[in-house]
Amino acid sequence: MSTPKKLYIKTYGCQMNVYDSERMAEALGGSGYVETQTPDDADMILFNTCHIRERAVEKVYSDLGRLKVFKAAKPDLKIGVAGCVAQAEGAEIMRRQPMVDLVVGPQSYHRLPELEARTRKGVRALDTDFPADDKFETLRHRPKVARGPTAFLTVQEGCDKFCAFCVVPYTRGAEVSRPVERILEEARNLVDRGVREITLLGQNVNAYHGAGTDGDWSLARLIWALDEIDGLERIRFTTSHPNDMSDDLIEAHGHCAKLMPYLHLPVQSGSDRILKRMNRSHTADDYLRLIERIRAARPDILISGDFIVGFPEETEEDFEQTLALIRAVEYGQAYSFKYSTRPGTPAAEREQLVEDVKTERLYRLQALLAEQQRRVQDRMVGRDVSVLIERSGRLPGQMVGKSEYLHAVHVADADASVDAAIGQLARVRITGSGTNSLSGVLK
Ligand code: SAH
Ligand code: SF4
Ligand code: F3S
Protein backbone atom coordinates (compact mmCIF):
# COMPACT_ATOMS: atom_id res chain seq x y z
CA MET A 1 0.00 0.00 0.00
CA SER A 2 1.31 3.44 -0.82
CA THR A 3 2.00 5.78 2.11
CA PRO A 4 -0.87 8.17 2.69
CA LYS A 5 -0.47 11.77 1.63
CA LYS A 6 -0.84 14.36 4.33
CA LEU A 7 -3.46 17.06 4.43
CA TYR A 8 -3.24 20.16 6.60
CA ILE A 9 -6.43 22.24 6.89
CA LYS A 10 -6.53 25.66 8.50
CA THR A 11 -10.04 26.81 9.37
CA TYR A 12 -11.08 30.45 9.64
CA GLY A 13 -14.51 31.92 10.48
CA CYS A 14 -17.64 30.33 11.85
CA GLN A 15 -18.60 26.87 13.14
CA MET A 16 -19.99 25.95 9.76
CA ASN A 17 -16.49 26.19 8.38
CA VAL A 18 -15.34 23.81 11.14
CA TYR A 19 -18.00 21.35 10.02
CA ASP A 20 -17.07 21.85 6.35
CA SER A 21 -13.37 21.29 7.07
CA GLU A 22 -14.19 17.90 8.58
CA ARG A 23 -16.22 17.01 5.50
CA MET A 24 -13.39 18.13 3.20
CA ALA A 25 -10.95 15.92 5.11
CA GLU A 26 -13.38 13.02 4.66
CA ALA A 27 -13.76 13.75 0.94
CA LEU A 28 -9.99 13.80 0.43
CA GLY A 29 -9.65 10.65 2.56
CA GLY A 30 -10.91 8.87 -0.57
CA SER A 31 -7.94 10.29 -2.50
CA GLY A 32 -5.48 8.80 -0.01
CA TYR A 33 -5.07 11.76 2.35
CA VAL A 34 -4.84 11.66 6.14
CA GLU A 35 -4.95 14.79 8.24
CA THR A 36 -1.88 16.24 9.89
CA GLN A 37 -1.76 18.92 12.59
CA THR A 38 1.23 20.82 11.15
CA PRO A 39 1.80 22.30 7.70
CA ASP A 40 5.49 21.25 7.70
CA ASP A 41 5.01 17.70 6.45
CA ALA A 42 1.84 18.30 4.41
CA ASP A 43 1.39 17.29 0.77
CA MET A 44 -1.63 19.54 0.56
CA ILE A 45 -2.45 22.69 2.50
CA LEU A 46 -6.04 23.84 2.42
CA PHE A 47 -7.27 27.16 3.83
CA ASN A 48 -10.98 27.14 4.63
CA THR A 49 -11.60 30.86 4.64
CA CYS A 50 -13.99 33.53 5.96
CA HIS A 51 -15.16 36.68 4.16
CA ILE A 52 -17.29 38.25 6.87
CA ARG A 53 -15.01 41.21 7.72
CA GLU A 54 -12.09 42.81 5.92
CA ARG A 55 -9.70 41.79 8.69
CA ALA A 56 -10.61 38.11 8.25
CA VAL A 57 -9.82 38.32 4.54
CA GLU A 58 -6.51 40.13 5.08
CA LYS A 59 -5.46 37.34 7.41
CA VAL A 60 -6.03 34.75 4.68
CA TYR A 61 -3.89 36.67 2.18
CA SER A 62 -1.07 37.21 4.65
CA ASP A 63 -1.12 33.51 5.62
CA LEU A 64 -1.10 32.59 1.92
CA GLY A 65 1.95 34.80 1.41
CA ARG A 66 3.77 32.85 4.09
CA LEU A 67 3.22 29.58 2.24
CA LYS A 68 5.73 30.61 -0.44
CA VAL A 69 8.59 29.08 1.57
CA PHE A 70 6.72 25.79 1.91
CA LYS A 71 6.09 25.63 -1.82
CA ALA A 72 9.71 26.55 -2.57
CA ALA A 73 10.93 23.74 -0.30
CA LYS A 74 8.44 21.21 -1.72
CA PRO A 75 7.36 21.94 -5.30
CA ASP A 76 4.89 19.02 -5.22
CA LEU A 77 2.95 20.63 -2.39
CA LYS A 78 -0.62 21.48 -3.41
CA ILE A 79 -2.21 24.64 -2.05
CA GLY A 80 -5.98 25.06 -1.99
CA VAL A 81 -8.33 27.86 -0.93
CA ALA A 82 -11.85 26.88 0.13
CA GLY A 83 -14.71 28.62 1.92
CA CYS A 84 -16.24 32.06 1.65
CA VAL A 85 -13.21 34.01 0.33
CA ALA A 86 -12.85 31.34 -2.36
CA GLN A 87 -16.50 31.92 -3.28
CA ALA A 88 -16.28 35.71 -3.29
CA GLU A 89 -12.82 36.21 -4.80
CA GLY A 90 -11.89 32.86 -6.35
CA ALA A 91 -10.98 34.09 -9.82
CA GLU A 92 -8.96 36.93 -8.37
CA ILE A 93 -7.06 34.55 -6.07
CA MET A 94 -6.17 32.44 -9.10
CA ARG A 95 -4.92 35.54 -10.90
CA ARG A 96 -2.99 37.10 -8.03
CA GLN A 97 -1.61 33.98 -6.32
CA PRO A 98 0.11 31.74 -8.89
CA MET A 99 1.10 29.23 -6.22
CA VAL A 100 -2.55 28.41 -5.46
CA ASP A 101 -3.44 25.14 -7.21
CA LEU A 102 -7.11 24.95 -6.47
CA VAL A 103 -10.03 27.10 -5.37
CA VAL A 104 -13.29 25.56 -4.20
CA GLY A 105 -16.44 27.26 -2.92
CA PRO A 106 -18.55 26.20 0.09
CA GLN A 107 -21.18 24.50 -2.08
CA SER A 108 -18.85 22.47 -4.31
CA TYR A 109 -16.29 20.94 -1.95
CA HIS A 110 -17.66 17.43 -2.49
CA ARG A 111 -15.89 17.71 -5.85
CA LEU A 112 -12.50 18.07 -4.14
CA PRO A 113 -11.28 14.58 -5.14
CA GLU A 114 -11.62 15.34 -8.86
CA LEU A 115 -10.19 18.85 -8.44
CA GLU A 116 -7.23 17.41 -6.55
CA ALA A 117 -6.68 14.81 -9.29
CA ARG A 118 -6.55 17.63 -11.84
CA THR A 119 -3.91 19.49 -9.86
CA ARG A 120 -1.81 16.30 -9.78
CA LYS A 121 -1.78 16.52 -13.58
CA GLY A 122 -0.48 20.07 -13.28
CA VAL A 123 -3.78 21.78 -14.06
CA ARG A 124 -5.02 24.55 -11.76
CA ALA A 125 -8.65 24.04 -10.76
CA LEU A 126 -11.42 26.50 -9.83
CA ASP A 127 -14.94 25.49 -8.79
CA THR A 128 -17.22 28.06 -7.23
CA ASP A 129 -20.50 26.73 -8.61
CA PHE A 130 -23.72 26.36 -6.69
CA PRO A 131 -24.25 22.86 -8.12
CA ALA A 132 -27.56 21.04 -8.31
CA ASP A 133 -26.00 17.87 -6.84
CA ASP A 134 -26.12 17.90 -3.07
CA LYS A 135 -22.74 17.88 -1.32
CA PHE A 136 -24.24 16.34 1.82
CA GLU A 137 -25.63 13.45 -0.21
CA THR A 138 -22.35 12.88 -2.06
CA LEU A 139 -20.39 12.73 1.20
CA ARG A 140 -23.03 10.78 3.09
CA HIS A 141 -21.27 7.43 3.01
CA ARG A 142 -17.72 8.61 3.63
CA PRO A 143 -16.34 7.21 6.88
CA LYS A 144 -16.55 9.74 9.69
CA VAL A 145 -13.69 10.43 12.05
CA ALA A 146 -14.38 10.55 15.81
CA ARG A 147 -13.22 13.88 17.20
CA GLY A 148 -14.42 13.84 20.78
CA PRO A 149 -17.73 14.00 22.65
CA THR A 150 -19.09 17.13 20.94
CA ALA A 151 -19.88 17.63 17.26
CA PHE A 152 -21.37 20.13 14.85
CA LEU A 153 -24.08 19.08 12.42
CA THR A 154 -25.13 21.41 9.61
CA VAL A 155 -28.92 21.29 9.13
CA GLN A 156 -29.51 24.49 7.19
CA GLU A 157 -27.27 26.59 5.03
CA GLY A 158 -27.36 29.94 3.28
CA CYS A 159 -29.48 32.98 3.97
CA ASP A 160 -32.27 34.96 2.30
CA LYS A 161 -32.32 37.81 4.81
CA PHE A 162 -29.84 40.15 3.12
CA CYS A 163 -28.88 42.30 6.08
CA ALA A 164 -27.31 45.37 4.50
CA PHE A 165 -23.84 44.69 5.95
CA CYS A 166 -23.51 40.95 5.35
CA VAL A 167 -21.80 38.80 2.71
CA VAL A 168 -23.31 35.46 3.76
CA PRO A 169 -26.22 35.45 1.26
CA TYR A 170 -23.64 35.92 -1.51
CA THR A 171 -20.98 33.46 -0.31
CA ARG A 172 -23.28 30.70 0.94
CA GLY A 173 -26.21 31.25 -1.38
CA ALA A 174 -29.94 30.89 -0.80
CA GLU A 175 -31.37 29.30 2.32
CA VAL A 176 -31.60 25.50 2.07
CA SER A 177 -32.69 22.97 4.74
CA ARG A 178 -31.53 19.35 4.76
CA PRO A 179 -34.17 16.61 5.00
CA VAL A 180 -35.04 15.39 8.50
CA GLU A 181 -34.13 11.73 7.92
CA ARG A 182 -30.60 12.57 6.70
CA ILE A 183 -29.98 14.67 9.80
CA LEU A 184 -31.24 11.95 12.13
CA GLU A 185 -29.06 9.41 10.33
CA GLU A 186 -25.99 11.63 10.71
CA ALA A 187 -26.83 12.27 14.38
CA ARG A 188 -27.17 8.53 15.13
CA ASN A 189 -23.88 7.93 13.35
CA LEU A 190 -22.18 10.59 15.50
CA VAL A 191 -23.64 9.12 18.69
CA ASP A 192 -22.37 5.65 17.69
CA ARG A 193 -18.91 7.18 17.50
CA GLY A 194 -19.11 8.53 21.05
CA VAL A 195 -20.61 11.97 20.50
CA ARG A 196 -22.79 13.12 23.42
CA GLU A 197 -23.54 16.70 22.41
CA ILE A 198 -24.62 17.92 18.98
CA THR A 199 -24.79 21.56 17.93
CA LEU A 200 -27.12 22.03 14.98
CA LEU A 201 -25.72 24.61 12.61
CA GLY A 202 -27.22 27.01 10.13
CA GLN A 203 -26.65 30.63 9.17
CA ASN A 204 -30.33 30.95 10.01
CA VAL A 205 -30.82 27.74 11.89
CA ASN A 206 -34.18 28.62 13.43
CA ALA A 207 -35.61 29.18 9.95
CA TYR A 208 -35.05 25.44 9.39
CA HIS A 209 -37.87 23.83 7.42
CA GLY A 210 -36.54 20.51 6.14
CA ALA A 211 -38.64 17.83 4.50
CA GLY A 212 -39.98 15.40 7.09
CA THR A 213 -42.31 12.42 7.08
CA ASP A 214 -45.38 14.65 6.71
CA GLY A 215 -44.35 17.88 5.06
CA ASP A 216 -41.77 20.36 6.28
CA TRP A 217 -40.60 20.17 9.88
CA SER A 218 -39.67 23.11 12.08
CA LEU A 219 -36.42 23.22 14.04
CA ALA A 220 -38.35 22.49 17.24
CA ARG A 221 -39.81 19.32 15.75
CA LEU A 222 -36.36 18.24 14.61
CA ILE A 223 -35.04 18.83 18.14
CA TRP A 224 -37.80 16.68 19.62
CA ALA A 225 -36.88 13.86 17.20
CA LEU A 226 -33.20 14.16 18.18
CA ASP A 227 -34.28 14.09 21.82
CA GLU A 228 -35.33 10.47 21.29
CA ILE A 229 -31.85 9.27 20.29
CA ASP A 230 -30.43 7.18 23.16
CA GLY A 231 -26.92 8.21 24.10
CA LEU A 232 -27.33 11.76 22.84
CA GLU A 233 -27.33 13.89 25.98
CA ARG A 234 -27.25 17.46 24.79
CA ILE A 235 -28.62 19.48 21.89
CA ARG A 236 -27.69 23.06 20.95
CA PHE A 237 -28.31 25.16 17.86
CA THR A 238 -26.79 28.29 16.33
CA THR A 239 -27.22 30.94 14.86
CA SER A 240 -30.76 32.23 15.18
CA HIS A 241 -32.50 35.29 13.79
CA PRO A 242 -35.02 37.06 16.09
CA ASN A 243 -37.72 36.97 13.39
CA ASP A 244 -37.66 33.17 13.16
CA MET A 245 -37.91 32.47 16.89
CA SER A 246 -41.17 30.52 16.63
CA ASP A 247 -43.52 29.59 19.49
CA ASP A 248 -42.72 25.87 19.31
CA LEU A 249 -38.99 26.59 19.61
CA ILE A 250 -39.51 28.82 22.64
CA GLU A 251 -41.68 26.12 24.16
CA ALA A 252 -39.02 23.46 23.48
CA HIS A 253 -36.63 25.51 25.61
CA GLY A 254 -39.04 25.10 28.48
CA HIS A 255 -39.72 21.37 28.07
CA CYS A 256 -36.96 19.52 26.23
CA ALA A 257 -34.43 18.38 28.86
CA LYS A 258 -31.70 17.70 26.29
CA LEU A 259 -31.99 21.20 24.80
CA MET A 260 -29.37 23.27 26.62
CA PRO A 261 -30.27 26.60 28.28
CA TYR A 262 -28.16 28.75 25.99
CA LEU A 263 -29.38 30.88 23.09
CA HIS A 264 -27.30 32.88 20.65
CA LEU A 265 -29.68 35.53 19.36
CA PRO A 266 -27.86 38.38 17.59
CA VAL A 267 -29.55 41.79 17.55
CA GLN A 268 -26.71 43.90 16.04
CA SER A 269 -28.07 47.28 17.25
CA GLY A 270 -30.49 48.75 19.79
CA SER A 271 -31.56 51.65 17.57
CA ASP A 272 -34.69 51.19 15.46
CA ARG A 273 -33.40 53.66 12.90
CA ILE A 274 -30.18 51.68 12.44
CA LEU A 275 -31.96 48.31 12.55
CA LYS A 276 -34.10 49.55 9.69
CA ARG A 277 -31.07 50.73 7.72
CA MET A 278 -29.52 47.31 8.38
CA ASN A 279 -32.62 45.65 6.90
CA ARG A 280 -33.07 43.59 10.07
CA SER A 281 -36.90 43.87 9.96
CA HIS A 282 -37.36 43.89 13.73
CA THR A 283 -37.26 46.66 16.31
CA ALA A 284 -35.34 46.83 19.58
CA ASP A 285 -38.62 46.43 21.43
CA ASP A 286 -39.56 43.32 19.40
CA TYR A 287 -36.27 41.82 20.50
CA LEU A 288 -36.73 42.72 24.17
CA ARG A 289 -40.24 41.25 24.24
CA LEU A 290 -38.93 38.11 22.59
CA ILE A 291 -36.23 37.75 25.24
CA GLU A 292 -38.93 38.12 27.90
CA ARG A 293 -40.95 35.28 26.38
CA ILE A 294 -37.90 33.04 26.11
CA ARG A 295 -36.99 33.72 29.74
CA ALA A 296 -40.57 33.02 30.80
CA ALA A 297 -40.22 29.57 29.18
CA ARG A 298 -36.72 28.92 30.57
CA PRO A 299 -35.80 31.40 33.33
CA ASP A 300 -32.14 30.35 33.67
CA ILE A 301 -31.34 30.52 29.94
CA LEU A 302 -28.06 32.26 29.10
CA ILE A 303 -28.46 34.78 26.30
CA SER A 304 -25.67 35.50 23.86
CA GLY A 305 -25.57 38.07 21.07
CA ASP A 306 -23.70 39.80 18.24
CA PHE A 307 -23.28 43.57 17.88
CA ILE A 308 -22.00 45.84 15.16
CA VAL A 309 -20.85 49.35 16.09
CA GLY A 310 -20.21 52.21 13.67
CA PHE A 311 -22.68 51.14 11.01
CA PRO A 312 -23.16 53.99 8.46
CA GLU A 313 -25.19 56.90 9.94
CA GLU A 314 -24.96 55.57 13.52
CA THR A 315 -25.09 58.61 15.83
CA GLU A 316 -24.04 58.80 19.47
CA GLU A 317 -27.74 58.58 20.35
CA ASP A 318 -28.20 55.42 18.27
CA PHE A 319 -25.18 53.92 19.95
CA GLU A 320 -26.52 54.76 23.41
CA GLN A 321 -29.72 52.93 22.52
CA THR A 322 -27.58 49.86 21.86
CA LEU A 323 -25.99 50.23 25.30
CA ALA A 324 -29.47 50.58 26.83
CA LEU A 325 -30.64 47.40 25.11
CA ILE A 326 -27.58 45.55 26.41
CA ARG A 327 -28.32 46.75 29.95
CA ALA A 328 -31.92 45.57 29.62
CA VAL A 329 -30.98 42.09 28.38
CA GLU A 330 -27.93 41.23 30.51
CA TYR A 331 -25.88 39.04 28.18
CA GLY A 332 -23.93 36.03 29.40
CA GLN A 333 -21.85 35.91 26.23
CA ALA A 334 -21.39 38.30 23.29
CA TYR A 335 -19.44 39.00 20.13
CA SER A 336 -18.97 42.55 18.93
CA PHE A 337 -17.40 44.07 15.88
CA LYS A 338 -16.66 47.38 14.21
CA TYR A 339 -18.66 47.66 11.03
CA SER A 340 -16.49 46.54 8.12
CA THR A 341 -17.43 47.55 4.56
CA ARG A 342 -17.96 44.49 2.39
CA PRO A 343 -17.81 44.85 -1.39
CA GLY A 344 -21.14 44.15 -3.06
CA THR A 345 -23.30 44.73 0.02
CA PRO A 346 -25.71 47.72 0.11
CA ALA A 347 -24.16 49.40 3.18
CA ALA A 348 -20.74 49.53 1.53
CA GLU A 349 -22.06 52.24 -0.82
CA ARG A 350 -23.10 54.55 2.04
CA GLU A 351 -21.15 57.28 3.76
CA GLN A 352 -18.88 55.71 6.36
CA LEU A 353 -18.08 56.74 9.93
CA VAL A 354 -14.48 57.59 10.78
CA GLU A 355 -12.40 54.82 12.31
CA ASP A 356 -11.75 56.61 15.62
CA VAL A 357 -15.47 56.84 16.37
CA LYS A 358 -15.93 53.13 15.70
CA THR A 359 -12.94 52.25 17.87
CA GLU A 360 -14.14 54.35 20.77
CA ARG A 361 -17.68 52.93 20.61
CA LEU A 362 -16.44 49.38 20.40
CA TYR A 363 -14.33 49.98 23.48
CA ARG A 364 -17.30 51.26 25.49
CA LEU A 365 -19.59 48.51 24.27
CA GLN A 366 -17.09 45.78 25.07
CA ALA A 367 -16.45 47.20 28.55
CA LEU A 368 -20.17 46.96 29.32
CA LEU A 369 -20.49 43.47 27.83
CA ALA A 370 -17.42 42.21 29.71
CA GLU A 371 -18.85 43.50 32.98
CA GLN A 372 -22.16 41.73 32.31
CA GLN A 373 -20.57 38.48 31.23
CA ARG A 374 -18.44 38.46 34.36
CA ARG A 375 -21.49 39.11 36.55
CA VAL A 376 -23.45 36.28 34.92
CA GLN A 377 -20.47 33.94 35.30
CA ASP A 378 -19.82 34.94 38.93
CA ARG A 379 -23.43 34.16 39.80
CA MET A 380 -22.69 30.50 39.02
CA VAL A 381 -20.51 30.18 42.12
CA GLY A 382 -22.19 27.93 44.71
CA ARG A 383 -24.47 26.35 42.11
CA ASP A 384 -24.44 22.76 40.88
CA VAL A 385 -24.07 22.31 37.14
CA SER A 386 -23.67 19.42 34.75
CA VAL A 387 -20.33 19.34 32.90
CA LEU A 388 -19.64 17.34 29.77
CA ILE A 389 -15.97 16.38 30.16
CA GLU A 390 -14.03 17.07 26.95
CA ARG A 391 -10.34 16.80 27.87
CA SER A 392 -7.76 16.74 30.63
CA GLY A 393 -6.56 20.01 32.16
CA ARG A 394 -3.02 21.15 32.93
CA LEU A 395 -3.00 20.00 36.57
CA PRO A 396 -2.94 16.32 37.61
CA GLY A 397 -6.46 14.88 37.76
CA GLN A 398 -7.93 18.07 36.34
CA MET A 399 -10.69 17.76 33.77
CA VAL A 400 -12.12 20.41 31.48
CA GLY A 401 -15.57 20.57 29.99
CA LYS A 402 -18.58 22.81 29.40
CA SER A 403 -21.59 23.43 31.59
CA GLU A 404 -25.15 23.53 30.25
CA TYR A 405 -24.64 27.29 29.89
CA LEU A 406 -21.51 26.79 27.76
CA HIS A 407 -19.17 28.08 30.46
CA ALA A 408 -15.79 26.33 30.43
CA VAL A 409 -15.40 24.52 33.77
CA HIS A 410 -12.19 23.16 35.31
CA VAL A 411 -13.04 20.23 37.53
CA ALA A 412 -10.61 19.11 40.21
CA ASP A 413 -10.45 15.47 41.26
CA ALA A 414 -7.00 14.09 42.03
CA ASP A 415 -8.29 10.50 41.96
CA ALA A 416 -10.14 10.71 38.69
CA SER A 417 -9.14 8.71 35.66
CA VAL A 418 -9.44 11.57 33.21
CA ASP A 419 -9.42 9.35 30.12
CA ALA A 420 -12.37 7.39 31.47
CA ALA A 421 -14.19 10.63 32.28
CA ILE A 422 -14.01 12.09 28.76
CA GLY A 423 -17.47 12.03 27.27
CA GLN A 424 -19.14 11.64 30.67
CA LEU A 425 -21.51 14.09 32.28
CA ALA A 426 -20.39 15.09 35.77
CA ARG A 427 -22.34 16.86 38.51
CA VAL A 428 -20.11 19.68 39.64
CA ARG A 429 -20.35 22.22 42.47
CA ILE A 430 -18.96 25.54 41.20
CA THR A 431 -16.45 26.96 43.66
CA GLY A 432 -14.67 29.71 41.73
CA SER A 433 -15.03 32.12 38.81
CA GLY A 434 -11.90 33.17 36.88
CA THR A 435 -11.23 35.37 33.86
CA ASN A 436 -12.48 32.98 31.22
CA SER A 437 -13.70 29.94 33.08
CA LEU A 438 -15.26 28.50 36.19
CA SER A 439 -13.73 25.99 38.56
CA GLY A 440 -15.48 23.35 40.61
CA VAL A 441 -15.41 20.02 42.40
CA LEU A 442 -17.21 16.76 41.70
CA LYS A 443 -20.38 16.31 43.71
N1 SAH B 1 -26.34 34.41 10.63
C2 SAH B 1 -25.95 35.03 11.78
C3 SAH B 1 -24.54 35.58 11.82
C4 SAH B 1 -23.78 35.81 10.57
S5 SAH B 1 -22.22 36.54 10.64
C6 SAH B 1 -26.95 36.11 12.10
O7 SAH B 1 -27.79 36.44 11.33
O8 SAH B 1 -26.88 36.64 13.18
C9 SAH B 1 -21.77 36.69 12.32
C10 SAH B 1 -21.75 38.08 12.83
O11 SAH B 1 -20.78 38.84 12.17
C12 SAH B 1 -23.03 38.85 12.63
O13 SAH B 1 -23.99 38.56 13.58
C14 SAH B 1 -22.56 40.28 12.72
O15 SAH B 1 -22.59 40.74 14.04
C16 SAH B 1 -21.12 40.19 12.24
N17 SAH B 1 -20.96 40.81 10.92
C18 SAH B 1 -21.50 40.40 9.75
N19 SAH B 1 -21.15 41.25 8.76
C20 SAH B 1 -20.36 42.21 9.32
C21 SAH B 1 -19.71 43.37 8.81
N22 SAH B 1 -19.81 43.72 7.54
N23 SAH B 1 -18.99 44.13 9.68
C24 SAH B 1 -18.91 43.79 10.99
N25 SAH B 1 -19.52 42.71 11.50
C26 SAH B 1 -20.24 41.92 10.69
FE1 SF4 C 1 -26.00 37.74 7.42
FE2 SF4 C 1 -27.29 36.66 9.44
FE3 SF4 C 1 -28.27 38.79 8.23
FE4 SF4 C 1 -28.26 36.43 6.99
S5 SF4 C 1 -29.44 37.00 8.84
S6 SF4 C 1 -27.70 38.38 6.07
S7 SF4 C 1 -26.35 35.57 7.74
S8 SF4 C 1 -26.37 38.67 9.45
FE1 F3S D 1 -17.27 33.61 7.51
FE2 F3S D 1 -18.51 32.35 5.61
FE3 F3S D 1 -18.90 31.68 8.12
S4 F3S D 1 -18.07 34.49 5.64
S5 F3S D 1 -18.66 33.61 9.19
S6 F3S D 1 -17.01 31.49 7.02
S7 F3S D 1 -20.42 31.73 6.51
What structural domains and CATH numbers belong to the chain? 5-127 (3.40.50.12160), 384-442 (2.40.50)
pLDDT at position 53 is 97
CA of 53 to the centre of ligand 1 (A): 8
DSSP per residue, 141-177: TSPPPP--SEEEEE-EE--S---TT--HHHHT-S-EE
pLDDT digits (tens, 9 = 90+) for 317-327: 999 999 999 99
pLDDT at 1 over 60: no
Average pLDDT over residues 410-434: 87
Residue among 171, 306, 322 whose CB has most ligand 1 atoms within 8 A, to mutate: 306
- pLDDT, position 364: 98
Report the atom number in ligand 2 closest to the C-alpha of 159.
4
pLDDT at 273 exceeding the cut of 60: yes
Ligand 1 centroid – CA 374 distance (Å): 23
Q: How confident is the model at residue 134, as a pLDDT?
A: 82
Q: Measured from the CB, is residue 14 less than 6 Å from ligand 3?
A: yes
Q: For residue 425, what pLDDT band results from cuts at 50, 70 and 90?
A: very high
Name the closest ligand to CA 267. Answer: 1
Model confidence pLDDT, tens digit, residues 10-44: 999 999 999 999 999 999 999 999 999 999 999 99
Summary mean pLDDT of the chain: 95
Nearest-atom number in ligand 1 for the CA of 338 is: 24
Distance 26 CA to ligand 1 centre (A): 29
The ligand with the least distance to the CA atom of 88 is: 3
- How much of the chain, in percent, has pLDDT values that exceed 90? 91
- In this prediction, residues 387-410 reach a mean pLDDT of 94
Q: Report yes or no: 86 and 112 within 8 Å, Cβ to Cβ.
A: no
pLDDT at 286 over 70: yes
**312-321, 364-373, 416-425: least confidently modelled range:** 416-425
pLDDT of residue 36: 96
Residue 18, ligand 3, Cβ within 6 A = no
Q: What count of other Cβ atoms lies within 10 Å of the Cβ of residue 434?
A: 10
Nearest ligand to the CA atom of 84:
3
pLDDT at 417: 74
Alpha carbon of 165 to those of 39, 317, 337, 382, 389: distances in Å?
34, 20, 12, 42, 38
For residues 275-293, give the mean pLDDT. 98
Query: What digits encode the pLDDT tens for the residues 110-131?
Result: 999 999 999 999 999 999 998 8
Kindly tell me if the per-residue pLDDT of 419 is higher than 60. yes
Backbone angles phi, psi at 10, to 5 degrees: -110, 125
Model confidence at 416, in pLDDT bands (50, 70, 90)?
A: low
DSSP one-letter code for 121: T
